[in-house]
Structures are given as structure tokens and as C-alpha cells.
Structure 1
Amino acid sequence: MSNGDPRTVVCFPFIGDFIGGSHLSALGLIRNLPRSLFTPLVVLHDTQGPVAELFRREGIDFEPAPVLNRLERAGARDSAAALSVARTLPALVRYLRNRKVAIVHTNDGRAHLVWGLAARLAGSKHLWHHRGDASSFGLRRIAPWLPDRLVAVSKFASPRPGLFSAAAKCSVVHSPFDVMKMVAVEREDARGNVIAAIDCSPDTKLLGYVGTLVERKRPILFVEALAALQRLEPNVEFAGLFFGNALNGLDDAARSRAEALGVGNRIYHMGFRYPSELWIAGLDALLVTAVNEPLGRTLVEAMLLGTPVIASNSGGNPEVIEEGETGMLVRPDDPDEFAKACLKLFSNSVYCRHIVETARSEARARFSIERHVHAITAVYEDLLGTGGMRGAEQVHAHPL
């Protein structure tokens, strides 16, 4: 609060050098926070990077961080990283005090530590929004003592109870999705756009991998699943599309693997596409090959858009998908299982339609922006002492 303004200032710091699902989820929250109660203060360490570009395109105002340090990726116990944090803290503490920030809401590992320490020193409350799995070093060793509250995107992502654990101060809150925006997407138009983009036959089955190409998401497995599909049913015409940027050369690795398996001519690297809804809606199936995924945004988006989902029975996926009802769950790291699931979808239109209709109804009920904002603002109220136990009860009223 500042200058007599009764609204609570909530600071959202981001590094800004990389776009992930956390940025899209945070964007939905920032845009929909009730302005009569909260003033979002978005801060970027990289004001020319992809996150800045995304926020500008979406009309989200932001400010440059008070330090030039972009908090480069480093091990949590790296001495250089510790020195960098120490040098950065004084400027961040002054910034939070000058802007009268009541809550610092962090959304990724680098921001959790640095801005969390700054919040503690500045007298601000700290909400750590955890989107990784429960085995991460930060969640196990730092979250128990640093943040005032913790929000996890799924039960799988939540800390496990123990003598030294953040479990007691953690709530599960689903990521937000613009349900009405999804309703407006025309699948036939979207499919036509995809077909035109890769110049393939209208009868081609379009299978998608949507997300950053990182090892945990198993982009190579996606290629191997397509190769298994070709081997099991040589007559089916299909195309595999990668939507997302790559880390550590995994796009080149995927290309090499595709060539080695004889499906190089069926793979298309589309890069990062925004908004993703227009592309996901054009797919015949979304393959979620990731393992230990806390709660993939694209999985829920596909359900809302009417695209059937085939996902690894791993991580938070089983918390979202009911096998055979709202999607298909297959054995992780098994390309043949993914291929067989694709063939089942292709050959049984009644089964496919049941999954699509059930998934869309379920996702609309569970993942709306309104439910997310309600749950997060209840946590804010609890942090500030304005909601008391009522706020905490509201959060827990929406379990997975």
C-alpha cells in the first residue's frame, strides 16, 4: 500500500529469459486479480527477452528489476551463485520497501531464493508458487524455512510430510485456464491451419508434442512413438509436430533420432507458437510423453479444446486424467504403448468422442481462472491476516 491507497501491492518478479507454463499461468492470475483489492507489480530482470515480449503483447505492464543481474542458472549450492545473491539483495530489499510491497509472489527457482530472501529482509510476505516435482532441492531444503506460504500446482508437486518439510504450509491450487477463450476456438479452422502450415494431405493424422524440448518431457520418446506407430500400422498417414523451443540441443537430437528410425519426413519442428490454442485445437491427439510432470498446461488446454490426450501415467497426469474417460494413460517411456493408444483412437470414433466430451466438461469445471484467482486471493488474505482461517479453508475447498 502507498500514498493512502488501501490496495495490497503484490510483486511478481520474473527473470524473463525463458517462457514456460509458469509465465502463462501467472499472466492469467495477474490479469484477473481484483483491482479493488490488489495492485500487481510485475518486475523483469530481462526487459528485452521473451517474457517481456509476451507481457507487452498481452498488455501487462512491468518494470525493470533494480539490478542488472539476471540470476543466471546455477546449482543451489554453487559458491558463485551465493555471492551473486549477496550482491543483489540490498537493492531488492530497498526496492520492496520503497514500493511498499506487502506480498512477493515468486514463480520459478531462481526468483524463489533471491526474491524470497529480499522479502524476508524487507518485511514483506513471501508466497512460493511451486511448479516442479517434490524431489527438487529448493522444495526440500529451502522451502521449509524461507517462504511464509507455499502453493503447489498438484499433489504430486507438493512437499512430502516430515520433520523438516514445508507440507504444513502448502496448499494445492490448480493453474488457471481461460475456459471461455477455449470455447471460441474452431477446431476445423485450426486443423486447416496446421495442414496448410506443413503442406500435408487433409487425411493426415496430426499428432502433437507441445512444450519445451527438455529431457524430462521426453521429446525423443515422442519420435520413437511415431516410429512405433509406423511399424505397427504402415498404412496410416500421420505427421508429428513439435511445438516449443529446445534446450541443450534436443531439437537436433530429435531430428537425428527421427532420421535413424525412418520417420524424419514425418516430423515437423514448428518452434514456439503463441497462442498455442490455435495449434493444439488442430491436432488429432496430443501426446504427453513427459515423466514426473507436476501439472502440464498443454494437457488441460487440449482437454478444453476437444483434442484427445494420450499421456504418461506419471507425475501429476493421473490427477487430471481418468483413464478411458477423460483421456488415455499409458506406461511411461514405452513408445509402443503410445502408438497403440493412437491406433485405438483412430479406429474407434465412439470411444474418441466420449473422451473428448467428458474431458471438456471435467476441465471446464475444475480449471477456470475464477477458481484459481479465488484460491490464490484466499492465500493472500491468510498471509495478511485479513481472511483468517476462512481464507485457508477456501483454498483447501478445491482439492485435486
Structure 2
Amino acid sequence: MNSGDRRTVVCFPFIGDFVGGSHMSALGLIRNLPKSLFAPLVVLHDTEGPVAELFRREGVDFDTAPVLNRLERAGARNGAAALNVARTLPALVRYLRDKRVAIVHTNDGRAHLVWGLAARLAGSKHLWHHRGDSSSFGLRHIAPWLPNRLVAVSRFASPRPGLFSAAGKCSVVHSPFDVMKMVGFEREDARKDVIAAIGCSPETKLLGYVGTLVDRKRPILFVEALAALRRLEPNVEFTGLFLGNALNGLDDVARSRAEALGVSNRIHFLGFRYPGEPWIAGLDALLVTAVNEPLGRTLVEAMLLGTPVIATNSGGNPEVVKDGETGMLVRPDDPDEFAKACLKLFSNSAYYRHIVDMARSEARSRFSIERHVHAITAVYGDLLGTGDMRRADQVHAHTVTGHARGDSVRNR
């Protein structure tokens, strides 16, 4: 920024080296902040990995972090980790002051700690965007004192009230989605493309697991649900698609489980696909097997794209899905329940269409980028004590809506 630029600088640091829902949500916010009011500053610790590739592909400029400290995912909470953070603080503080950063908006656990401390020392405001569950160590033990404000993606993800709690400074703001962009996808064409890519017959039902393969998302349960479906109704032709990268070798574990259950020939491991919308639109159903998921992006994306959702009655899922109306909720960790829901969905075309139509309407009204930007900029205004920021954002919301409608035409 030049010295005459009066916009509020908001810093978005990212430490991780793989793309997740937090990056997609943050990207939607960064691209749609009112440019007359805010100057987003994206900072990456890994400038060659998939996160950097995502931002380059989307035309979003970024800085290289002034330090190499990335910490370790789920690393030990010990003195060595604290010393590692302390070692990098001076450089981060200087960076934030040099860039005249007013707000540091962090989006994952490691960034909360590393950049949150630096924000405090630099005199910047710190907004902690919480995308985990309410039992996480950081939310319970660090969030009550470190950030100035906290935003959670769902009520489930919000801190519980207590004597030492961040509940009093937390707001619930749902993740953003380009709801008009989803209008441009023809499901039949998308389905044909998926069938051609994996080489199956047109009659095959396409069931998807979309997201990183981590234990909380229960990828093994997805395999077991497919095996249950084959057992309950052997005449149904189906295949399962894993769309996402794996952590801790869970793809190999899933392959072994599929082999043991006799469904390895019905599963395709396709890795992370970007953009994901054509793949989700091509599915006959999305199976959200995750337990204690704060608010899954793919769940809402499927609803917008007209792909019916079968999800666990767990975490933030019930805040999005109304059972039997906008999707189906089943008992967690029960593969038979998923299989029975699939059979009910595929045996009743009227029920299938009802869920698709209701889900799309509900998702469009609740999860637009405009609503997300308005809510987040209101939090920014509270942090800085600038009420005018909110009024300007209300005007901007109408402008963004107009742009979004124009984009929908171009994307058709």
C-alpha cells in the first residue's frame, strides 16, 4: 500500500500446505471485500504448494511470510513449540507494523497462535475464525485470552459458556458460497463426464465422498456404507468416488478395508479435484460420513448443485440439513443407515426431486457470499469502532449481488 491509501489493511496468513475448506471460504471473502474500504493482504508460509497454486489460479496476489516457521500439524504442546513461536515473533511484528495491518484474520489453528501473538504485540486487532469443534484445545484454552474477536462457522463450533470462555466475544457466521455460480452447471452433462472419466455404465449410481481423508470425516465408514448397500440390495449398480487428498495414509487403509469387504472394484480414488463443482454435480448422492464436522463446505455445495445429501446427524450438519426436507440425516457411524437412506432416495423419484428443490432454495437464501461479507465486515467494524464501515458494506452488498448475477451468465 502507498502512504495515501486510507483503506483498512486486513492480513490473511496461511501456514498449511494443503487446500481445505478454510482456504476456499477465505478466498470467497478476500475476493469480495469492498475494495474501497479494505486492502486484503494474503501471506503464505509455503509459496510453492497447492495453497499457493490455488491463489495464483484465482488471480489473488500474496506475500511470502517473513519467517519460515510453520510449526507441525498437531505437534506437541510443549516448551519447544513455545520457543519456536517466540523465535519468529520479532520478524512477524515488524512485518505487521511495516504493512500497517489493522486486522489479522486467521483461519487455522497454527496461524491463530503464531500470528495471533504477533498481532497483539504489533497493535493489530486479531480475528480468530474457528472452523473446528468446540472441544478443541485452542478454542478452550487460548481463544479466551488471545484474539480480540472470534467467529465460528456454526453453533456447534462455537465455544461453550463458562468462567473461562471465548463465548462472549464469538459470533456465528456461516461460510460463503457463490450461489449464482452454481446455476451454470448442467447435472446431466456433469454426470456423463464423471461416467466417462471412471469408465462405468450410465445406469451406475454415483456415490461420493468429497473432502480430505481424515479420521473425523470417516472415510472408512464410506467404504463400509458401500459394502452395506451391496449386501442389502445386490441388484443396485453403484460405485463410490473418493474426491480428496489423504492424510496419515488413510487412503491405503480405505483400500484395504474395501478389499476385505469385497467392494474394491466399486471404488475410485480420484484425489483432490479443482474445481470440485463439476464432480459434485455429477453425483447421484453425496454421503457426508463425518462426525463432529463443524460445517462442511461440500454439503452446502451439493445442495446448491442439486445433488442430494445424506449426512450424519452430528456436528453442524443438523444446522444445515432438515431431515426429509433438504437432505437426509442418519445415525453416525452406522453404515447400514447410509445404505438404507440411499435405497429410499433412489426408489422414490418424487422424494428425490423434493429434497433437491428444497435444498437448493434453502442454501441459496442462507449461504450467499453477500451475507457472509456483510457479517464479517460488521465484525471488522466492531473491532475498529467504525460504524460507517457497516453502512458502506450494505451498499456494497447490492453491488456484489449485481456482479454475481453477471458472473452466473458468463459461467453458463
Which category of TM-score, normalised to the shorter sequence, fits these structures? over 0.9
Counterpart amino acid of residue 345 in structure 2: L
What pairs up with 1:233-272 in 2 under 5 angstroms? 233-272=233-272
- Residue 388 of structure 1 and its aligned partner are, at CA, apart by 8.6
What pairs up with 1:176-191 in 2 under 5 angstroms? 176-191=176-191
Maintained 8 Å contact 2:10/2:101? yes
What TM-score, normalized by structure 2, do the two folds share?
Answer: 0.93
1:227 matched residue in structure 2? 227
Counterpart amino acid of residue 98 in structure 1: D
2:294 matched residue in structure 1? 294
2:152 matched residue in structure 1? 152
- Residue 77 of structure 1 and its aligned partner are, at CA, apart by 1.9
- Residue 76 of structure 1 and its aligned partner are, at CA, apart by 5.8
2:21 matched residue in structure 1? 21
Question: Deviations 1:272-292 (Å, cap 9, x if unpaired)?
Answer: 000110100000000000000
What pairs up with 1:306-325 in 2 under 5 angstroms? 306-325=306-325
Q: 1:2 to 1:118 in 2, by over 3 A?
A: farther
2:397 matched residue in structure 1? none
> What SS class does the counterpart of residue 315 from structure 1 fall into?
coil
Matched, 1:117 2:120: no
- Residue 390 of structure 1 and its aligned partner are, at CA, apart by 7.2
What pairs up with 1:1-400 in 2 under 5 angstroms? 3-75=3-75, 77-387=77-387
- Residue 50 of structure 1 and its aligned partner are, at CA, apart by 0.7
> What SS class does the counterpart of residue 241 from structure 1 fall into?
strand
**Residues of 2 paired with 1:86 and 1:390: CA distance?**
36
> What SS class does the counterpart of residue 73 from structure 1 fall into?
coil
What TM-score, normalized by structure 1, do the two folds share?
Answer: 0.96
Maintained 8 Å contact 1:104/1:124? yes
Question: Deviations 1:2-55 (Å, cap 9, x if unpaired)?
Answer: 512110000000014111000000000000000000000000000001100000
> What SS class does the counterpart of residue 155 from structure 1 fall into?
coil
Counterpart amino acid of residue 60 in structure 2: I
Question: Deviations 1:354-376 (Å, cap 9, x if unpaired)?
Answer: 00000000000000000000000
Maintained 8 Å contact 1:2/1:100? no
**Residues of 2 paired with 1:204 and 1:79: CA distance?**
54
Question: Deviations 1:184-207 (Å, cap 9, x if unpaired)?
Answer: 011111101110111000000000
**Residues of 2 paired with 1:16 and 1:238: CA distance?**
35
Maintained 8 Å contact 2:374/2:390? no
State the identity %. Answer: 87
**Structure 2 unaligned spans of 5+:** 395-412
Question: Deviations 1:203-260 (Å, cap 9, x if unpaired)?
Answer: 0000000000000000000000000000000000000000000001100000000010
Maintained 8 Å contact 2:377/2:389? no
**Residues of 2 paired with 1:365 and 1:42: CA distance?**
29
Counterpart amino acid of residue 308 in structure 2: P
Maintained 8 Å contact 2:69/2:85? no
Maintained 8 Å contact 1:16/1:50? no
**Residues of 2 paired with 1:137 and 1:265: CA distance?**
40
**Residues of 2 paired with 1:76 and 1:102: CA distance?**
31
Maintained 8 Å contact 1:106/1:128? yes
> What SS class does the counterpart of residue 240 from structure 1 fall into?
strand
> What SS class does the counterpart of residue 224 from structure 2 fall into?
helix
**Residues of 2 paired with 1:389 and 1:292: CA distance?**
35
Maintained 8 Å contact 1:13/1:106? yes
- Residue 81 of structure 1 and its aligned partner are, at CA, apart by 1.2
**Residues of 1 paired with 2:196 and 2:58: CA distance?**
27
